[in-house]
Amino acid sequence: MKLMHRPGAEIDGDQQRFLSQPHKTKRLWAEAKTLWLAEQACAETSRLDRWFALTDYKKSFKGEKPREFGKEVIAALRLHLVGLQKGRCCYCRRWLQNVAHARPVEHVLSRKDYPQFSMQYRNLVVCCRDCNQKKSDANWCDLPHTARHYPKVIDDYFHPRLHVYDTHIRYVRIETNDTVVALYHGLTDQGRHLCREHLKTIAQVDGLVSNNKRVSKAFARLQAASDVRDPSKVRELDAFINELHVAMHRVAGTRRP
């Protein structure tokens, strides 16, 4: 089967674009780039999950109060990846909502099994919350956990950074006033694998939420409430929405507890 593998130069070009502006504030670009490359090298050499370290990283600049610099770099990465993905989830292709917690950064090869790739640029994508819940730490490959080099060619599953979606999966979503039907059709072995392992459930969850007026209304209210600024309220809201999604997956009969 012919693989749709993006040439390395293009991938490197995307990474260069991110590293040239890895923070929304121009005067902090150099610091952000240094931090990113240091954490990336540390993850690769020590086989430690450095994503946590980046998330918790704080720094003061010229007498300013400490700022959550790592989270700010991740926010810049999220924006960059959303641009590459043209605003759609990397797995289910639905539109990503413009709220950080609704578009988590996802590690294609999980941080749990492959901590050395926790900061690997090609391993990072943005997906919707449903896909993030469903995939969780699942790995679809048999790459040894001790692998030192990130795979360049993958033929046993769909990899959103290395494959072209439209070549592998056909997505149709029909929406009327009161009904939504999402259909995914695998065009290749990798596409069929994604449909079997992942998209079948996502389509069920989509229908379950969208076709139940009370549930979709509740989700709309929660989405609106996500404008709150108080960090503790944001955390509470996030945890609540998370639990709701887990419950929806349970109802839809996923294998996730």
Binding residues (CB under 5 A) for Zn ion: these are 89, 91-92, 127-128, 131
Helices (H), the chain: 8-20, 29-46, 51-56, 69-84, 129-135, 165-168, 189-194, 200-210, 213-225, 231-251
Q: How far is the CB of 204 from Zn ion (least distance, A)?
A: 13
Q: Please state, in angstroms and rounded to a whole number, the distance separating the CA atoms of residues 8 and 184.
A: 29
Choice between 119 and 203, CB closer to Zn ion: 203
Q: How far is the CB of 169 from Zn ion (least distance, A)?
A: 12
Choice between 109 and 131, CB closer to Zn ion: 131
3-class DSSP assignment, residue 182: strand
Choice between 143 and 244, CB closer to Zn ion: 244
Q: How far is the CB of 95 from Zn ion (least distance, A)?
A: 10
Q: How far is the CB of 173 from Zn ion (least distance, A)?
A: 12
* Cβ within 8 Å of residue 254, ≥6 positions away: 134, 201, 205
Choice between 50 and 107, CB closer to Zn ion: 107
Work out the angle between the directed axes of helices 29-46 and 69-84 (0-180°, nearest 10).
Answer: 90
Q: How far is the CB of 189 from Zn ion (least distance, A)?
A: 21
Q: Tokens in use for 227? A: 């404008």
Q: Are 74 and 55 in contact (CB under 8 A)?
A: yes
Q: How far is the CB of 94 from Zn ion (least distance, A)?
A: 6
Amino acid letter for position 104: P
Choice between 32 and 131, CB closer to Zn ion: 131
Q: Tell me the C-alpha to C-alpha distance, in Å, between residue 118 and each of 6, 63, 98.
A: 21, 32, 24
Q: Tokens in use for 148? A: 């030192």
